[in-house]
Amino acid sequence: MRNIVLFGPPGAGKGTQSQKLIDKYGFIHLSTGDLLRAEIAAQTPLGMEAKKLMDKGELVPDQVVIGMIGHKVEANPQAPGFIFDGFPRTVAQAQALDQLLQANGTAIAGMVALEVVEDELVKRLLLRGATSGRSDDQDEGTIRRRFNEYQAKTLPVAEYYKGQAKYQAINGIGEVEEIFGSLCQVIEKL
């Protein structure tokens, strides 16, 4: 199994590039953001609780997302690999993921970070917000709060993988295809 953490701030292109990786390599995509939005759409109690935090641009509790990921990993023992998108977002989540994968006889092969400057991220998210209906893309204040959460809680996750010599970064600005090419080069060497 080739399990990859696709890392980067809100709007870096994790979802966009994940879709292309799935099409090319047949990986299973695990996006905690997408899973949470599905819970909101289904109006589950979990979704309703998560929505309050997501609308403010804050992270949901670790136990909630760890539980979601656990079910998906256990349900797909034959997968060629998993793409983790938007997870792990805290060091506690990264530790839980290592334990979960170990219990399933596998591990993270590497983290690949998409590097994009903040002005470009704001531009992308506001543009998407005009049509997507994502409530956390609607105003710059909420977008900035997502960046603050990223700086405070999520950036340490990059250090966690650097400590395991599993971290690599690529330029996330430019044409989607060009970025995908760089990403594939890194992934094929893992």
Instruction: Name the residue among 26, 3, 2, 9 with its Cα closest to residue 113.
Output: 9
187 binds ligand AP5 (CB under 6 A): no
Quote the least distance from Cβ 102 to Mg ion, whole Å. 26
Quote the least distance from Cβ 34 to Mg ion, whole Å. 7
Report the residue number, 78 or 152, with the smaller CB distance to ligand AP5. 152
128 binds ligand AP5 (CB under 6 A): yes
- Give the type of residue at 146: R
CB 56 within 8 A of CB 142: yes
With CB atoms as reference, the residue minimizing the distance to ligand AP5 is 33
Q: What b/e readout covers 101-134, taking b as 16+ CB neighbours within 10 angstroms?
A: beeeebebbbbbbbebeeeebbebbeeebeeeee
Task: List 3's β-bridge partners, or say none.
Answer: 108
CB 47 within 8 A of CB 36: yes
Residues 157-186 that bind ligand AP5 (CB under 6 A): 176, 179
Residues 28-47 that bind Mg ion (CB under 5 A): none
Identify the residue whose tokens are 């909630």.
64
68 binds ligand AP5 (CB under 6 A): no
15 binds Mg ion (CB under 5 A): yes
108 binds ligand AP5 (CB under 6 A): no
Q: Categorise residue 11: left if φ over 0, alpha if ψ from -120 to 50, beta otherwise.
A: left
x-or-dash string of contact with ligand AP5, 32-51, rule CB under 6 A: xx--x---------------
Q: Binding residues for ligand AP5, per CB under 6 A?
A: 8, 10-16, 32-33, 36, 53-54, 57-60, 65, 86-87, 89, 93, 124, 128, 136, 146, 176, 179
